[in-house]
Amino acid sequence: RAWICCVLEFKNRQRVVMGPGYTELFFWDEACALAAGHRPCFECRRADALAFAFAWSGEAVRATAPQMDRDLAKARAEGPWICDAAPEGAMVALPEGPALVAQGALHLWSPDGYGASQPLPRRLRVLTPRPICTVLARGYRPQMGLNA
């Protein structure tokens, strides 16, 4: 149930990719992982996970991993949603493909990275699950491989 976003290297550990216990997925950056419904790992990305959990709850008491995992499972099942404004770091669907909301504009994603900026449309089909958009709106800043 825990869909987590980890770092590629941690304490010199060596894993067999697609070995027992985990299904490894590799994303362009954290914004893409968040759009897929993953959250930062509490072991290898502790500081990010704590910041994410506090932004999740919006209070002095942080959200727990099991609580976030339950809510994210439900949100992933709901799929994309429509809104007038998505927060910085969210991914949206355009006719041309997925795009990142960053620096007040959209940046079309491709396997080669993000493209040049283009204006934000009035209505957006948001790929990033709602609870994660709330976290982004509360100030959590994902790592973005923006090359535009």
Do 48 and 133 touch, CB atoms closer than 8 A?
no
Q: Which of 54, 21, 55, 69 is nearest to 135 (CA)?
A: 55
Label residue 115 exposed, middle or buried (CB < 10 Å: 0-12, 13-18, 19+). Answer: middle
Span 73-81, average pLDDT? 95
In one-letter notation, the amino acid at residue 30 is E
6 Cβ partners below 8 Å, 6+ apart? 41, 43, 44, 45
Q: What is the pLDDT of residue 8?
A: 79
| Per-residue pLDDT tens digits for 86-123 | 999 999 999 999 999 999 999 999 988 898 889 998 89
| Per-residue pLDDT tens digits for 1-52 | 889 999 877 888 777 777 777 777 888 899 999 999 999 999 999 999 999 9
In this predicted structure, the answer to whether residue 141 has a pLDDT above a threshold of 90 is yes
Please give the angle made by the CA atoms of 141, 145 and 146, to the nearest 5 degrees.
90
* Cβ atoms within 10 Å of 110's Cβ, excluding its own: 11
H helix intervals, the chain: 30-35, 46-57, 65-78, 130-137
Q: What is the pLDDT of residue 147?
A: 58
Q: How far, in Å, CA of 52 to CA of 142, rounded? A: 9
Q: What is the pLDDT of residue 148?
A: 41
Q: How far, in Å, CA of 99 to CA of 135, rounded? A: 19
Q: What is the pLDDT of residue 99?
A: 96
